[in-house]
Structures are given as structure tokens and as C-alpha cells.
Chains A and B, each alone.
Chain A
């Protein structure tokens, strides 16, 4: 089964993602950056859903570390963020995220289509 790593500190968002995606994919959850990087190094998922606003190491820093790591750098990483301001999409894509999904999630198909788009490119 395709495995997605979910890096998200909010329990309610993890619960929601589990409900939306749990039947299609195997989800591995992390609530902070350090655990996520250690977990990704132990077992490579097929794709990462990465919250931007995490306490401590934020999503941008986690992404930078993923892209700097030879084993991890090819992983598709989709940003999950409540920062839904104009221009943010371009900002995150140019930072190296593969895609960008805004919270709150109102249409599960936008999320699933983004995931599938990047899974088929692997």
C-alpha cells in the first residue's frame, strides 16, 4: 500500500487526514520536525504531507533538510498550510514544495488529486 508521511502538529488535522486518506493510503504520522526527519530516514514513504507552521523546526526548514539529503531529496512534498494569502503558492513552489494545499480542507478531491498527481510521477 502506498505510504504517506503526515507531518502535522495539530491532532484535529491529523484526525481529519486519517478520515480522508486512511482508506486509500497507509499514513505514518509525525507531530514535529525532528521525529519526522528521523522517521523518513528510517523508512522512506512515497510522499510527504508537510504542515508549514510547526513549533520549533517549521515546514520550510524540514523541506530544506529533505532536499539536502541524498536519500530523501526526490520525495514529493506537499505543503499544508493555513497561510492562504495571495502569492503564497508561488512562494512555496519556488522553495521546493511540489504542491500546496490550503487549510481548512473543504474539498477532499483537491487534496487527493494533488497526491495522485505526484505519486504517478515517481
Chain B
């Protein structure tokens, strides 16, 4: 990571491996393995639920799902996905259907990248 404070989203890191190191410190490789497994299981469902909720006009459901995804992503170091989730959460709260759909589609692409990154980290860390 850069030691220079970032000033905009383009300069912020997409992922933060230190978050995974922290989880290992909290609970060893077992916790890391279980946290990654839960995320891989739950995050796609949260995103799908949010997309469906937006299509059905249920913005509160979308906001809740994205709020949870924001937190879970950040805990695992998926920082870009966390930022996208936060943007989606705020758009859902504001009822901005067009903007949120675009953000959710970008989130889906980012989630696929995160899953690939986590699989690599899990293997590299023997978790």
C-alpha cells in the first residue's frame, strides 16, 4: 500500500491483504477459512437480493443488503467492493434507481474479482 494518503477512489486500493492477516491473528487459519467460506456463500446472494429488490422497488431491502455487504467486504479487505456497496446503500436510501443498478452491476464484476483474489489468498496462506 502507498504511504501517501489517497485523495480519490482511483487512488484507493481495491483489496487490503492486511485485513486477512488480521483475521488470522484474531482466530488463526481456521477463522480465516470460515470467514472466506461464509463470504463466498453469502455475498453473491446479498448482491442478487439487492438487484431483485431494486427491480421490485423495495429500496429498504436493497439498502439493508448493501449495508451488510459493505461491512462484510471491509472485514475481509475487499475495499473496492465495500466502497461500491456503500455507494449503493446511499443511492438506495435516496431512491436513485438508475444509479444504483449501474453500481450493483459494477459490484457484481468486482465481486467476481474478489472471489478469485480470496481463493488465491486462501491457498497461499494454507487456510
Binding site for B on A (CB under 8 A): 9-13, 15-16, 19-20, 53, 55, 82, 103-106, 108
Contact = CB atoms under 8 A, between A and B. Distances in A.
A122 to B, nearest CB: 26
Given A16-B31, A53-B64, A103 B74 contact: yes
**What range describes how many residues of B lie at the interface?**
10 to 19
A16 B35 CA distance: 8
Interface in B72-124: 72, 74-75
Contacts of B64: 53, 55
A87 to B, nearest CB: 16
Nearest to B64: A55
Contact of A103 (B22, B23, B39, B75): B75
Interface of B: 19, 22-23, 26-27, 31, 34-35, 38-39, 42, 64, 67-68, 70-72, 74-75
B53 to A, nearest CB: 12
Nearest to B36: A12
B26 A16 contact: yes
Contact of B39 (A12, A104, A108): A12
B68 A9 contact: yes
A10 B71 contact: yes
Contacts of B26: 16, 19-20, 108
Contacts of A20: 26-27
Contacts of B67: 53, 82
Given A104-B74, A104-B75, A105-B75, A10 B68 contact: yes
Nearest to A20: B26
A2 to B, nearest CB: 20
Given A53-B67, A53-B68, A12 B38 contact: yes
